[in-house]
Amino acid sequence: MGAFRQNIAVDIGSSNIRICVERKGIVVEEPSVVAVRKQTGEVVAIGRKAKNMEGKTDRDVTMVRPISRGAISEYTVTVNMVGYFLDEAVKNPIRRLIRPDIVTAVHCDITNVGRRATERALREAGAGRIFFVDAPLAAAVGANLDVSAPNGKMVVSIGAEITDIAVISYDGIVAAASVPVGGRSFDEAIKTYFKKEYKMIIGDQTAERIKNDYACVYRDVRVQPFDVSAFELSGRLPVDRPIRPDELIRTLSDVAMPVVEGISRVLEMTPPELVSDIYQRGITLTGGGARLAGLDVFISKGTGIDTITADNPHKCVVNGCMKILNSMSNERKNELMNN
């Protein structure tokens, strides 16, 4: 029976959920948000539909982000969300009969309790056999790094709330650390900057748009001035304020600094031969947070090591998970299940 099961990769992040189906590619890429009615717990909308409702619904509807810092914080909502998107990904009702093999990635510092909760949630959402991969390993495979080669490679995977830093050699993680910084930390810093500097209140979505479309964390990477329209603390009407990208550099680099420090700590834990490989080969950035303009230059200057951002960095984890699962024989899967 196992040999007939479909292979599916699921990356359940604190900002986005992505599902990749064997031979089809990524079929789901949606915000990991669920709109829930407070009184009854009834699910009103899931994913993009829920995100679009944000700030526009009556007070009885609340937006739940069921994953935080890489772990499940709202169990039932997670099961609903994953089950809903698995149904979207595999329209065939046979999924309920022959449950798919599912691989998912977990952050370096996940606890046993966290891992068991993820396993149980996936099972309830319809998974058959479940396999875990360390997120940095999945990210490295998704970034097309040769993980099995006997040399050191460093992957820094920057999500919405967590950054995983890892050195990989011989298919395994040699040294790793997680830093509680991600794309959302930059959004928060931008909100604080506008409040302190201009007494302006901007929302989460505006902050994220400023970061994604106009800001940079290293000088001269982006130079085009832009306008931000928002309410002033004391005013009743929105005002337009012209902003230069370089004003935000100090704020954003303060947020990014712990990533550079984390990289140094991981290098200290790494055997010297592998460290010299990393100096030669450079650091690879993955994760949606790595798309912040100039972050590769910032990390390169901060560490003295060449740094490049992988193609489609936000898709590396799910693509890597899929490749890993597709490369496993049914015997290998059974072996892993029996361990």
Ligand X SMILES: Nc1ncnc2c1ncn2[C@@H]1O[C@H](COP(=O)(O)OP(=O)(O)OP(=O)(O)O)[C@@H](O)[C@H]1O
List residues binding ligand X (CB under 6 A). Answer: 13-16, 70, 159-162, 182-184, 208, 211-212, 287-289, 291-292, 314
Least Cβ distance, residue 295 to ligand X (angstroms)? 8
**Minimum distance from CB of 175 to ligand X (Å)?**
20
Please report whether residue 100 would count as binding Mg ion according to CB under 5 A: no
Helices (H), the chain: 48-53, 75-89, 112-124, 135-142, 183-198, 204-213, 249-268, 272-281, 295-303, 316-326, 330-338
- Does residue 245 interact with Mg ion by CB under 5 A? no
Please report how close the Cβ of residue 292 comes to ligand X at its closest, in angstroms. 4
Residue 205 C-beta: closest distance to ligand X, Å: 10
Cβ pair 302, 271 in contact under 8 A: no
Q: Which is nearer to ligand X, 14 or 78 (CB)?
A: 14
CA-based nearest residue to 88, from 176, 17, 174, 153 = 17
CA-nearest of 337, 330, 332, 326 to 138 is 326
Q: Considering beta carbons, is residue 274 or 285 the nearer one to ligand X?
A: 285
Question: Among ligand X, Mg ion, none, what binds residue 142 when CB lies within 5 to 8 Å by partner kind?
Answer: none
16 contact, one of ligand X, Mg ion, none, CB 5-8 Å limit per kind: ligand X
Q: Measured from the CB of residue 189, what is the shortest distance to ligand X in angstroms?
A: 12
Nearer to ligand X by C-beta: 100 or 183? Answer: 183
Residue 182 site contact among Mg ion, ligand X, none (CB < 5 to 8 Å, cut-off depends on kind): ligand X
How far, in Å, CA of 302 to CA of 298, rounded? Answer: 6
Cβ proximity to Mg ion: between 95 and 315 the closer is 315
Q: How far apart are CA 20 and CA 26, in angstroms?
A: 4
Of 134 and 277, CB closest to Mg ion: 134
Amino acid at 103: V
Question: Among ligand X, Mg ion, none, what binds residue 211 when CB lies within 5 to 8 Å by partner kind?
Answer: ligand X
Verify binding: residue 183, Mg ion, rule CB under 5 A. Answer: no
Of residues 152 and 289, the one with the C-beta less far from ligand X: 289
Compute the least distance from the CB of residue 338 to ligand X, in Å: 30
Question: Count of CB atoms within 10 A of residue 39's CB?
Answer: 8
CB of 285 to Mg ion, least distance (A): 13
Report the candidate in 133, 136, 132, 135 with the shortest Cα–Cα distance to residue 166: 136
Handedness of CA 286, 290, 294, 300 (dihedral sign): negative
Binder of residue 134, out of Mg ion, ligand X, none (CB less than 5 to 8 A by kind): none
- Please choose which of Mg ion, ligand X, none residue 126 contacts, taking the beta carbon within 5 to 8 angstroms, the exact cut-off set by kind: none
Closer to ligand X by Cβ: residue 14 or 80: 14
CB of 151 to ligand X, least distance (A): 26
Does 159 participate in binding Mg ion (rule CB under 5 A)? yes
Under 8 Å CB-to-CB from 253, ≥6 apart: which residues?
Answer: 217, 218, 298
Q: At what angle do helices 183-198 and 204-213 cross, to 10 degrees?
A: 110
What does the longest C-alpha to C-alpha distance in the chain come to? Answer: 67
- 13 contributes a contact to Mg ion by CB under 5 A: yes
Residue 161's binding partner out of Mg ion, ligand X, none, with CB under 5 to 8 Å set by partner kind:
ligand X
3-state secondary structure of 102: strand
Given the complex with ligand X, which of 151 and 312 has the nearer CB atom? 312
Phi then psi dihedrals of residue 176, to 5 deg: -160, 160
> Rg for the chain (alpha carbons), in Å?
21
Residues forming the site for Mg ion (CB under 5 A): 13, 159
